[in-house]
Each structure stands twice: as C-alpha cells, then as structure tokens.
Amino acid sequence: MTVFYKLAILAAAAMAATAAPIVLPATPGRNTTAILNLGLKDNFDGPIRAEDSTFSGRGTWFTDKSGSCGKSFDTNDMIVAMNAEQMDGTAQCGRTVRITANGKTVDAKVVDTCPSQFCSSGALDMSQAVFKKLAPLDKGVIQIKWQFA
C-alpha cells in the first residue's frame, strides 16, 4: 500500500473520529492537497487555522509601563504580554485575545512579549486590570484558556 493511500485511510479514520476536516500533505506528482470530505461536516469553509484554536497555560500579571510593541500602557489597561513562542517577534502586536478562567471571560489587546523564562507556550502575562477580572491579584498565577478574538 502506498504512502498516499495509508495517509488517506488515516485521515478518513481521524475525520470520522473527530468530524473535523483533514488536509493531506502535498506529495510531488499527486494532488493530495484536496480535503477529504466524507459528508460529516456540510459547512466546511477551509482548513482549521491557528486563529481558530484555543490555547491553555499559566496566567500571571505584570506592572510594566511599555513593551515590545512600542506602546506605553499602565496597570489599568486591558492588555497582555504574549509568550515569546506564540508572539513570533511582534507579529501579534495589536491583536485581541479572549481569555477565560474561573468561569469568567475577558478580552485584552496584545502589547508586549513575555520572555520565555517566565512564559512558556500558551501562557499570557496580563495587566492587573485583566487579571482582576479573572481572579484576585493575590492568587498570582491561574490556569487560563485563550483564543484570538
């Protein structure tokens, strides 16, 4: 059985299990970029993007006054510093994230990078204003889920 057919079988099995579209990797000489559609999802409008994903990690708070995006801010602004891995330089500057923790949700703007020694992938360092909407400041660290809004 060729690699293409093995991938097709695996993709079909994964799709049946998750009802999510699967995009096959390109293979020279074959049109394998087509999406398998087994009729499990009628409203498919393209590949799943990172922007559609939900991330999870540690949520902390900070008191800085400026950041990697070149804007000044204070502890009352609804802002976050994104972990360096997902920040991708300054690519996420100005984007809005929707953060959920303890049954509460808040939106905040990305204005800074949280260094990798403090924030691993999935983590956000929040202004005091954002953190207080999710938990008391004395909590210090909370588990969060977030996505791009």
Q: pLDDT for 124-138, tens place per residue?
A: 999 999 999 999 999
Q: Report the distance separating Cα 96 and Cα 106, nearest Å.
A: 10
Instruction: For residue 42, give both structure tokens.
Output: 């009628």
Residue 142 has pLDDT above 80, yes or no: yes
Residue 69: strand, helix, or coil: coil
pLDDT recorded at residue 52: 74
The domain segmentation of the chain, as residue ranges, is 3-36, 50-148
pLDDT 10s digits, 83-107: 999 999 999 999 999 999 999 999 9
What are the residues whose beta carbons fall under 8 Å from the beta carbon of 34, sequence distance 6 or more? Answer: 24
At the fourth CATH level, the homologous superfamily of domain 50-148 is RlpA-like domain (2.40.40.10)
Q: Is the dihedral of CA 53, 57, 58, 63 positive or negative?
A: negative
Residue 114 has pLDDT above 80, yes or no: yes
- What is the per-residue DSSP string for 22-35? EEPPPBTTB---SE
**Residue closest to 86 by CA, chosen among 126, 57, 127, 63:** 57
Residue 149 has pLDDT above 50, yes or no: yes
Q: DSSP code of 49?
A: P
pLDDT recorded at residue 17: 46
pLDDT 10s digits, 16-73: 444 444 444 444 443 433 333 333 333 434 444 556 799 999 999 999 999 999 999 9
Q: How far is CA 16 from the centre of its chain?
A: 25
Q: What residue ranges in 27-74 does DSSP mark as E strands? A: 35-36, 55-62
> Counting every residue, how long is the chain?
149
pLDDT recorded at residue 32: 36
